[in-house]
Amino acid sequence: MYLLRAHPARLWIALLPPLAACAALIAASALGALALPMLPFGIAALVLAFGLGILVSRDLPGRRRIETRALQLQAVSTVIGKAGGTLELQQVLDAVTLSTVEVTGVRGCTIKLLDPGGKTMSIRSVAGLERRQSELPARTAEDIATRSLMEGQPVLVEGPLRRDFPELDDATESLLCVPLRGDGAGTNPRGTAARVIGALCVYGEKGRRLSPDMLSFLSRLGELAALSIANASVYESLKKLDDARAWFLRRAAHELVSPLSVIQSISQNLLLGYLGEMSGRQKEEIERMRARAAGLSEVVGDLLALARGRAQPLLPAAESPAGTVDLCAVLSETVAFFQPAAGERGVPLSVGAPCTPCPVRGSPEGVRSVVSNLVSNAVKYSPSGCPVSIVLAQTAAGIELAVVDHGIGIPAEEQERLGSEFFRATNARAFTDSGTGLGIAVVASEVKAMGGRLDIRSEERRGTTVKVFLPAVNTPSAAEHRGQGGREGAG
C-alpha cells in the first residue's frame, strides 16, 4: 500500500456494536439472568446496535476522505516547500521528483518538459530510476500518451498496455502521468485552457498498484509544481538575457578601447606641437576632441567594470587567503591619487584606517573600482570647503568601508533610482557635466560579486554616506588584528 491509499474498514466497524450486543445476550442467557419477558427488549437492543453500527460505518468514508485530503495537503506542502528553496530550474525539477518519491513511496518519478518546438516532451529530471531506462526510444503508444498529456488529460498505463511502453520494466507495475500547466490550473484568467508545459509521472512498483487517491494527489501537486517550474523558467530566461547583455557590454567596450586611446594619443601630440605649430582655433578644436574622447573612455571603463562584476559568480566565504586583496592598501593608493584633485577643489580629504592589512575576497580590479568610484563621487559632488572622510574598520563580522561627504546630496524623490545604469540626479547634472551615471551601478555590481552589501543614505544639500560591508577573510594576520581590536591611523 502507498502512503496516500485509504484502508477500507467499514464492514468491521459496522459489525462491532451488534457483535457486542449478541455476546451480552448469550452471556445473560447462559447465566439465567434473561427471562422470557425480557427477550423483546434484548432483540430491540440488538437491532439498535446494528443501526448504530450502520450509522458509524456510513460516517467513516467522510472521515477517511478528510484524512486522505490532509495527507495529500501535507505531502504537497512537503514537496513544494523543498522545490521553493531555489530559483534554479534544474534544482527545482530535481527537488520535485525526489520529494515525490520520498512522500509517496513510489518506485520512481520523472518530469518531462515540452521541447522548444512544442511537439515532443523530453525528460529533464529523474528520481528512483536509471536515467538510461527512462530515456528509451518512444513507441506509437507513447506518442499517443504524449498527445493526451498535451491536451491536458492524465494518462494511466497498466495491465496489457505496459508492453507498449519500453520504459516500464518487469519491476514496474504501472505508470501515471498528469499534465503540468503553464498557469498552474486548468484555465487561465481569460478563461481559456492553460498551456501545457510538461508532465509529472510516477512509476508504481511491481505488486503495488497506484491507488485512485494518487491521481488526485498528483494533480494537485502538478498544479503547484508547474508554478514553481514556470517561475524558475522565467528566472532562467532573464538570467540568460542578463548574461547576453553583459557579453555585449564587454564586447562593445573592448572594441572601443583601442580607437579611443589612439584618438587621445594623437590629440595630445598635436597639442604639444610634435606635428607642427597650430593656430589658437585649431588647438581649441583639438582640445575639445581630446576631452570628448577622454569622457568616452571613462564611460567605456565603467561599462567594462560593470560587465566584469556581473559576469563574476557570488564568491563563497573561504578560509584560504588565495584570491584576496588588501583593501587598506588599495584605499591608500586611491586616496593618494585623488588627493591633488581634492586639493584643487578645496575639499579636505581625511582617512581613518587600520595600520594592518584588511584582506577581502575579490579581484584587484573590482576592489579598486569600488573604492575609486566612491572617493571620486564624494570629491566630485562636494563644493569647496566641504570635507570628505573615509573610514575603514575591521569587525568580527567583516570589514566596513564608509565614505562620508557633506556635498550636494541626492533628492529624496530620486533616491529609488540609485544604482540604475546611466542615472544621474538632477542636481548632479546641474552641478557638473562630468560623470557617466554608472559609478554606483558598478559599485553595487562589484560588491554583490564579492558577497558584500551596500548601504546608501543621502539628504539633499546635506551630503551622502555610503557604506560597504564585506565578509571577513580569515587570514592569520587579520584574525590576530581583530582579536586585538585594531589600531587606527590617519592619512
Residue 228 has pLDDT above 60, yes or no: yes
Sequence-separated (6 or more) residues with CB below 8 Å from residue 322: none
What mean pLDDT do residues 471-477 have? Answer: 67
What mean pLDDT do residues 117-141 have? Answer: 69
CB contact at 8 A, 245 and 441 = no
Residue 288 has pLDDT above 80, yes or no: yes
Q: Is 349 helix (H, G, I), strand (E, B) or coil?
A: strand
Task: Report pLDDT for 385.
Answer: 94
Task: Report pLDDT for 173.
Answer: 83
Of 233-237, 255-259, 392-396, the least confident: 255-259
Sequence-separated (6 or more) residues with CB below 8 Å from residue 58: none
How far is the C-alpha of 445 from the C-alpha of 309, rounded, in Å? Answer: 5
* Average pLDDT taken over every residue of the chain: 76
How far is the C-alpha of 452 from the C-alpha of 397, rounded, in Å? Answer: 11
User: Could you read off the pLDDT of 81-120 as tens digits, one per residue?
Assistant: 766 677 788 888 998 888 888 888 888 899 988 887 777 7
Work out the pLDDT band at 383, boundaries 50, 70, 90.
very high
Task: Report pLDDT for 80.
Answer: 67
Task: Give the CA count within 13 Å in the CB-facing half-sphere of 413.
Answer: 2
Work out the pLDDT band at 34, boundaries 50, 70, 90.
very low
Q: Is 85 helix (H, G, I), strand (E, B) or coil?
A: coil
What mean pLDDT do residues 446-454 have? Answer: 91
Of 191-200, 238-247, 357-366, the least confident: 191-200
Residue 193 has pLDDT above 50, yes or no: yes
